[in-house]
Amino acid sequence: MALDLSKAAAFQAIRAKEKARFEASEHEAAEAARAEARAGGKRRAAGVPMTFEAVLQTCKDNDGYELPELNEKLYLHFKGFARIENLGAFTATKALFLESNGLNAIEGLEPLVELRCLYLQQNLLEHVVPPPGWNGAPLPLPGAPPAPSPLAHLVNLVTLDLSQNRLSVLSGLEGLVKLNTLNVAKNNLASVAGIEHLALCPSVTNIDLSGNQLADPAVLDVLERLPALSALKIEGNGCIRDTPGFRKSALNRLQGLLYLDRPIDEMSRAAAAAWGAGGKEAEIATRRACCRSREQRTRRGCCGASFDYA
């Protein structure tokens, strides 16, 4: 079973409260910026600094602890943070909520080795591993090893949400040996090469690729290399809309799937296998046979039932 704390009722209540607070602060900031502009002053730099004091205050605001090392959940969503920093004292953190900030890089997570769930959706991320020279960093020397992934030390991570960002290539996930659920929906993934890295994540069972621009049905070549894959969301991509029989091909090639944009029932699996072996006519015949078998089971159940009218 996938571990996803973002669906918990307690988190949803905190999320609603923080979203309302964020929207109010954004309104205040916009009013202040307009006032500064009218007065001829300069606007403040975009983004809010993630200070130790700010993080600790969110713990206190959400029934956490004043001692940073005791907090297992950090609710840092809807804060307007521009960078991930100053988390060194929060070493017990198991769930980190960073939804809807202004983050353009994954960084500063090295102290959080106990982290199980990381939520980075709705930010400005264009990559997981920064490219050489990104953001003014010095270029590596010729022959130097590639930069390590900012997620490499999160060996206990189970759930990672990177949805609604700007990713065009997946990378830096190979060290997440316990990763179970990966959400990269609504990014800029548009090619097989962009998701090829998934083949290095054999522990993943649940993947959400929906709402990208994946048009090549060869995405199945990558997904076929994930031995534990049991749930896949891929709707909203060109490969679904423009490839005849894509769902049936996926069911035949990804035998471990239990969910493909919707639950997979026995008839769908059998019909897909018949379609693969004998085409459309074989599929229709199989569906009819499944319907007849289902009707017969229903009749036998009704005839064998006893009723008590007392």
Q: Where are the domains of the chain?
A: 266-302
Q: What is the distance between the alpha carbons of residues 80 and 150, in angstroms, rounded to a whole number?
A: 21
Task: Look up residue 78 and give its DSSP letter.
Answer: S
CA 179 to chain centre: 11
> Rounded CA gap, 222 and 209, in Å?
12
Q: Which of 125, 118, 183, 123 is nearest to 153 (CA)?
A: 118
* Residue of 212, 210, 207 whose CA lies nearest to 223: 207
Q: Above 70 in pLDDT, residue 129?
A: yes
Q: Please give the C-alpha separations between residue 112 and each of 47, 71, 87, 107, 152, in angstroms, as whole numbers.
A: 23, 11, 8, 11, 11
What are 73's strand-pairing partners? 95
pLDDT, tens only, 113-125: 999 999 999 999 9
What pLDDT was estimated at residue 237?
97
Tokens found for residue 137 = 């960093």
How far apart CA 199 and CA 188 sit, in angstroms, is 19
Q: Give the pair of three-digit tokens for residue 186.
A: 């609504």
Give the model's confidence band at 59: pLDDT under 50 very low, under 70 low, under 90 confident, else very high: very high
pLDDT given at position 11: 64
Residue 9 has pLDDT above 90, yes or no: no
- Higher pLDDT, residue 44 or 205: 205
**Own/partner pairs, 146-153, CB within 8 angstroms, 24+ separation:** 149/173, 149/174, 149/175, 150/105, 150/106, 150/107, 150/109, 151/106, 151/109, 151/118, 151/175, 151/176, 153/109, 153/110, 153/113
Residue 134's pLDDT band (cuts 50, 70, 90): confident
State if pTM tops 0.85: no
| Per-residue b or e along 37-56, where b marks 16 or more CB atoms closer than 10 Å to that residue's CB | eeeeeeeeeeebebeeeebb
| Confidence class for position 6, pLDDT limits 50, 70, 90 | low
